[in-house]
Amino acid sequence: GAGVSQTPSNKVTEKGKYVELRCDPISGHTALYWYRQSLGQGPEFLIYFQGTGAADDSGLPNDRFFAVRPEGSVSTLKIQRTERGDSAVYLCASSRDTTYEQYFGPGTRLTVT
Amino acid sequence: QKEVEQNSGPLSVPEGAIASLNCTYSDRGSQSFFWYRQYSGKSPELIMSIYSNGDKEDGRFTAQLNKASQYVSLLIRDSQPSDSATYLCAVERGGATNKLIFGTGTLLAVQP
């Protein structure tokens, strides 16, 4: 079946602009996670949703970052007033339940110039 | 001390040999452990999960868990050049949350 999909695959934006990154989880997966990966590092947790609600947003670095999942399926990660330090690969993962394995999408490479 | 530690490598093994990748973690409450493979420029791909002490085998891969020593390992038998990638160890944070904490990964190079 179809895996996790993310759009866009690449995003280049200027410092100070607003960006939205989209994630479409595996069909039937109730849990959705966002991670961020910088070069040479492992993925770093940002936020996870169980259904429509953000069950844990402790990894969001500051209030410029926000994520929604209004219908319990597709999620959007929103970054306001982007900074060059936000440049990274943003990964989305989903799992059938919070106790199951997490499967990653292809990621969105964000570059802030 | 990092929560999840891995040797960054590179670990170089000849084709056909056994590659041994190691990981230690600090949170004694952790219950779930995962190995992901990540090719350069690609996203992490789940290859093994392990939840109980002991060994778990899947094809050429064996995951080993020792909770008392807070140690997880991955053995790759009959290593192939196509196994060359970064291997990420991930530990589910103990308690109510289920976020994954990743190590920085070990780069494996299988020499033909």
B102 touches chain A (CB under 8 A): yes
Q: Looking at residues A88-108, what average pLDDT do you find?
A: 92
Q: Cα separation of B31 and B60, whole Å? A: 24
Q: Cα separation of B59 and A27, whole Å? A: 27
Q: Give Rg (Cα) of chain B.
A: 13
B32 touches chain A (CB under 8 A): yes
Give yes or no for a contact between B101 and B93, defined as CB atoms under 8 angstroms apart.
Answer: yes
Residues B30-78: pLDDT tens digits?
A: 989 999 999 999 999 999 999 999 999 999 999 999 999 999 999 999 9
Say what the pLDDT of residue B94 is: 66
Three-class DSSP category at B56: strand
Of A56, A101, A106, the CB nearest to B97: A56
Amino acid identity, residue B67? K
Three-class DSSP category at B36: strand
Residues A32-90: pLDDT tens digits?
A: 999 999 999 999 999 999 889 888 999 999 999 999 999 989 999 999 999 999 999 99
pLDDT > 70? residue B97 = no
pLDDT > 80? residue B3 = yes
Q: Cα separation of B53 and B106, whole Å? A: 22
Say what the pLDDT of residue B29 is: 87
Say what the pLDDT of residue A51 is: 87
Give yes or no for a contact between A112 and A15, defined as CB atoms under 8 angstroms apart.
Answer: yes
Amino acid identity, residue B89? C
pLDDT band, very low/low/confident/very high, at B98 (cuts 50, 70, 90)? confident
Of A42, A98, A104, the CB nearest to B43: A104
Least confident of A92-101, B49-58, B101-110: A92-101
Q: Is A59–B99 a contact, with Cβ atoms under 8 angstroms apart?
A: yes
pLDDT > 70? residue B96 = no
Q: Cα separation of A109 and A91, whole Å? A: 9
Amino acid identity, residue B68? A
Q: Is A56–B43 a contact, with Cβ atoms under 8 angstroms apart?
A: no
Q: Cα separation of A34 and A40, whole Å? A: 18
DSSP 8-state symbol, B78? S
Instruction: Give the pairing type, strands A65-68 and A75-79.
Output: antiparallel
pLDDT band, very low/low/confident/very high, at A1 (cuts 50, 70, 90)? low
Ordered DSSP codes for A33-77: EEEEE-TTS--EEEEEEETTEEEE-TT--STTEEEE-TTSS-EEE
